[in-house]
Chain A
């Protein structure tokens, strides 16, 4: 009897295990990158240091861009990250000690990193900034900067939704005490004065959904929901359905799922700061500087965004999101 049951169980599992559609596309072998030079064939080693908190899809793309550039240019890339400012300074210092040829680093906490960046420039190691620190990179002694201006990005969203008639947008902050996220919402508010901020627990999708749902039920006059990260926008779609709210959803940052939702019309648009470009250009600029003494940006920061993704250009961009490069 027992054996009979077991056999039935095994057979059922085998039957269920038979291939079913909807999963990974197996014909699509890993074709990311391709070609390129042997690592280190140019002889340069670049340290790439970020304040990445592990688990954020955004940094996947920054890193993918940096790795692609390293491959294309034959640069040896040393990636490291720490969300803690003091530890990030330590990473920069250890890159200097390791005598790398160049350092690309995010500068979101300029004051904490100033000392380490100075010791790099003092040792003759060129530094470029990316992603954060647009106002301070020159003062710190970094040569070039690739990133977007958070406040400007917020303003662009604000202006665009104001043009579509937004009166009372809700700006959803999914991380406490983040200067960059606050700056985005401030930017939106500067264009649409009726903007209200809402704090949610970004580490728990069901908490984000219910909080948004409650807010949409509490204040029926909310006409736009501005989320600051792609995964939060997905929760906002759920909340909107639950609360049967007419609010429209727009978001910062892009991922594959959001790209599909834009195509389906559930998200009006996404604003992309093109993280892949930030990673790619930071490494490339160091390569060109070392190889050819080039300076990119004419002494000014190079803006990688904001770039709008909406129904007019989604068909072109969707395939890139599937490859995780946009």
Chain B
């Protein structure tokens, strides 16, 4: 009994319950949802949100936000694509350059937040707009259009595609490599949070930065590191988008930053920091993927798409909160 209570008090307990409810619901109402192929599509959709959400979740546990996480995926792809297209160099060079660029943006986000004490919401809102504008402006300058050019014939494209955007087909089901990366990243994040000193630091800086500093936690380094983790994962998804779709629209990516935050919150991460875990965030991303596609599999009127999505997400959060309160109440 005590053990079940302790399980219920875990951050992902509510999300897991909600995920099961939604899964069963769509199994019941959407016949075409009941196939392995559909499940794999849902996993893929979840992974494209889930990979960055791992980082955003960690950052939120650490008590900060990153609103630039959505557009940085496109910036990452564009840097790689346009550099290599313009200079005609191997795609691996561009990928490495893009990684450096993203890490620098993450560092800048973290450094500005720590240095100035301005809330990360505002600092990253600034970088969000800067990146959004730069994506369009630079792309237009380099390619003469607002989408990047075809780079599939440049050396290194195929090997990078194998790393970031390959898939294997078993029967009717297609497993995308992003799903495996997502599981790996979530696993590493979970391990770091639960079993390492850095994990303790993340919870500590999110819970109370002042007390964390007092007991000797390197607050500045931890938080800057977290921003860099987010931008690294943003880079990763950007690489996937580039090597799967080849040409990128410079105006894309906007709005996804909220999906990452939604995934983290649905997964039991507190908006105020200090509470949450990696498997919760992964389940949150899975709920998002399942809901957004379940509506389509159910064949419902597409005009209601967003409304359904909102209701589903609200329900998920409610179930989540309810279960947590219940377990906390009983445990007390």
**A interface residues (Cβ-Cβ under 8 A, vs B):** 13, 16-24, 26, 32, 53-57, 59-60, 173, 176, 197-199, 201, 203-207, 210-211, 213-215, 217-219, 231, 234-235, 238, 242, 255-257, 260, 324
Write out the residue numbers on chain A whose beta carbons fall within 8 Å of the beta carbon of B166: none
Beyond A19-B89, A60-B144, A218-B298, list 19 extra A-B contacts (CB 8 Å): A13-B96, A16-B92, A16-B156, A18-B89, A20-B90, A20-B154, A23-B86, A24-B149, A54-B133, A55-B135, A176-B306, A198-B296, A203-B252, A206-B44, A207-B48, A210-B289, A238-B245, A242-B174, A255-B145
Of the listed residues A18, A32, A205, A255, the one surrounded by the most CB atoms of chain B closer than 10 A to its CB is A205
Residues of B within 8 A of A255 (CB): 145, 147
* Chain B contacts for A231, CB-based, 8 A: 147, 247, 249
Q: Is B192 an interface residue (CB 8 A)?
A: no
Which residue of B has the minimal Cβ distance to A16? B90
B30 touches A (CB below 8 Å): yes
Closest to A241 in B: B174
- Contacting residues, chain A, for B153 (C-beta < 8 A): 21-22
Whether A55 contacts B136 by the Cβ 8 Å rule is: yes
Min Cβ gap A182→B in Å is 10
Task: Name the one of B35, B146, B155, B292 contacting A207, with C-beta atoms under 8 angstroms.
Answer: B292
Shortest distance between the CB of B24 and any CB in chain A (Å): 18
CA distance A50 to B245 in the complex (A): 29
Number of interface residues of B (CB under 8 A): 62
Contacts of B145 in A (CB 8 A): 57, 60, 255, 324
| Chain A CB within 8 A of B128 CB | no
Quote the shortest CB–CB distance from A300 to chain B (angstroms).
Answer: 32
- B154 contact set on A, CB distance < 8 A: 20-23
Query: How far apart sit A257 and B247, CA to CA, in the bound complex (Å)?
Result: 8
* Interface assignment of B293: CB less than 8 Å from any CB of chain A: yes
Task: Give 25 CB contacts A-B under 8 Å.
Answer: A16-B93, A18-B89, A24-B86, A24-B87, A24-B149, A26-B88, A54-B136, A54-B146, A55-B136, A57-B146, A60-B144, A198-B296, A199-B306, A201-B255, A203-B253, A204-B48, A207-B45, A207-B48, A214-B32, A217-B41, A218-B30, A231-B249, A238-B244, A256-B149, A260-B150
- Determine which residue in A57, A199, A204, A234 has the highest number of CB atoms from chain B within 10 A of its CB, and name it: A204
Q: Is there contact, CB below 8 Å, between B252 and A57?
A: no
CA distance A16 to B44 in the complex (A): 32
